[in-house]
Amino acid sequence: MTKWRLATGVNALVNNLKHEVWLSFEESKKNKKAVDKLTKNEILPEEDSREILIEENKFKLKFDSSLNLYIKSEEFPTDSWYKLMNFSDDPKHLGAILTKIQNNNGVFDEEKDFEAAFSIMHPTKVILACSGMDEYEDYLNELVRVVNCQTLKKTRKWIPGHRYDSETNTYYYLGKAYTKSYKDNKLGEDLEEVHLVVESLNGETKISEIMNNRIFGNNIGDIKIVPSISLMVDGGSVLENDLDTSNIEPLWEGLVMRAINKCRVIKGESWKDYTNIHSILQPLTLVSKDNGYSNIKNYIFWTELEQVIKVTLLNLVVRYDGVAETIGNIDINCSKEEAIDNIKRLYTLLVDDSGKINYYLQLLPKIGIDLNYLVGEILEGYSEDSTIFRDLESMYNFSDIYTELHSNSGEYYLDQRYEGRRYSADIDKDKATKLSSVIYQLSICEAIESILEQAKEKGGSNITRYQVFNQGTRSNPILYELYEVRLKDIIKLYGSVSKVPENLKNELVISRFQGITIKLNKNSKIII
């Protein structure tokens, strides 16, 4: 992640003739040198330009109609507005200002001070932020981190609720926890001490507020496990230490259920998938010091957790079965024992790709999840015909999952452009490849025809993809339209699976239709 931080001192290179200004970070020789190099061919002679140290990082801000930024400062040579020449060209920084801070015809309140922020990753650029923007707190925290590292001593004696800074990271320490030892690819019974941290706060004032509202994971804001305490600067107490994280067992249910709810996605009309199994299972890698997993089935969440494992195992089989050269290379047609082993190993690799496959293979039985049984149960009744293509609802529910890797199955392509010319009913119509020569089911063809007619009226808002391309020149354009129609677009045409006509339902399933890409001459009609 690119880290921007507020500056304690700013260099301003001002052009008094053109009223232009370039800002650089006074503390960074690299940043100043990069900006100097950028401006050497643009700055007028010395009498028309000046380099000024802005000791107080405060600027007034306005925009013109072309979204150029203008700033002024009491420390500039004149009271005029100066065009800021090296503002970041990433539109999100401009958008952050315009969407978070009110302005009057592009001019911001005189009482509102904006501050310059810089990043070592973009040495020629500057951004602006002020209080009231979410981003401002991030930039301020980065400044605090750097200042702390420069002025305070480092320590390995971490106190729960305190902030800790290094040259690269900021941690808010939540406390210690315990996990089963894992050595030589084996999950032991001995306990190892680990530590819980978050990298940012979101208004929390207590450790309990974080532990009772966030999930474990690798995303910004997630609770993270660090195996040992690093040498870092103690930035002082920022959170009330009102919770003993080493007694993790009472927290399991909330952590697991929050992760399940956050990671759940709906496929098709009703089928579930889960985007991050690791976040769901990670709380269960931690145990209270005096307890193990003996009572885990007594927790309300356990039944739902088992259902999550069942669902994601089936989704894995749907994704990977029959796909050559996959990371797991699973094949349900091999021996049952081999298929179960392949699926288990692929599943645990998807849970955690750090190489700790055996860790989860050994952990899941400890928490009462029998992977052998669950996978065997899936394989007993699994086939593409009986599972994915049983009916239209099943086909629709599994469509996105199945087509992730089965990219050519049930997908069609039709190019109805003819002779690179504009559409002419009299000349070209009979030369076009008909839709029915690609898709034999007439009801599917008619549904696609209706969808394409709507796409012309709605600018493609009703289909997965609609684009207009020029295969000629700017002066002599030859335009064609590209349509991508997926199964979900056909369902959308009727409103739901239940409202799709029965004959169309049957033909979609028989043909295993997943989608079609069609190219037409601009303003022509599909020929069935």
Q: State the helix-helix crossing angle for 371-381 and 357-366, rounded to 10 degrees.
A: 90
Length of the chain: 528
| b/e map 387-412, b = 16+ CB within 10 Å | bbbeebbbbbbbbbbbbeebeeebbb
Beta bridge partners of 14: 21, 50
Q: Note whether 470 and 478 are within 8 A (CB).
A: yes
Q: Tens digit of pLDDT per residue, the chain (528 long)?
A: 468 999 988 999 998 888 999 999 887 777 788 888 877 766 555 556 788 999 899 999 999 999 999 999 999 989 999 999 999 989 999 999 999 899 999 999 888 999 999 998 898 999 999 998 988 988 998 888 888 888 888 999 999 999 999 888 899 999 999 998 888 778 888 899 999 999 999 999 999 999 999 999 988 899 999 999 999 999 999 999 999 999 999 999 999 999 999 999 999 999 999 999 999 999 999 998 877 787 788 888 999 999 999 999 999 999 988 775 544 445 656 777 888 888 888 888 888 867 677 888 889 998 889 999 999 999 888 889 999 999 999 999 999 999 988 877 889 999 888 654 444 444 455 566 789 989 999 999 999 999 999 998 999 999 999 999 998 888 888 899 999 999 999 999 999 999 999 999 999 999 999 999 999 988 888 888
C-alpha separations of 349 from 179, 328, 357 in Å: 20, 9, 6
Sort strands 20-25 and 82-84 into parallel, antiparallel or unpaired. Answer: parallel
Residue among 393, 389, 390 at smallest CA distance from 496: 393
Backbone dihedral angles phi then psi of residue 500, each to the nearest 5 degrees: -70, 130
Q: Strand order in 107-108's β-sheet?
A: 49-54, 10-15, 20-25, 82-84, 69-72, 60-63, 107-108, 103-104
Closest CA to 6 of 34, 28, 36, 30: 28
Structure tokens, 253: 């249910």
Q: Is 191 strand, coil or helix?
A: strand
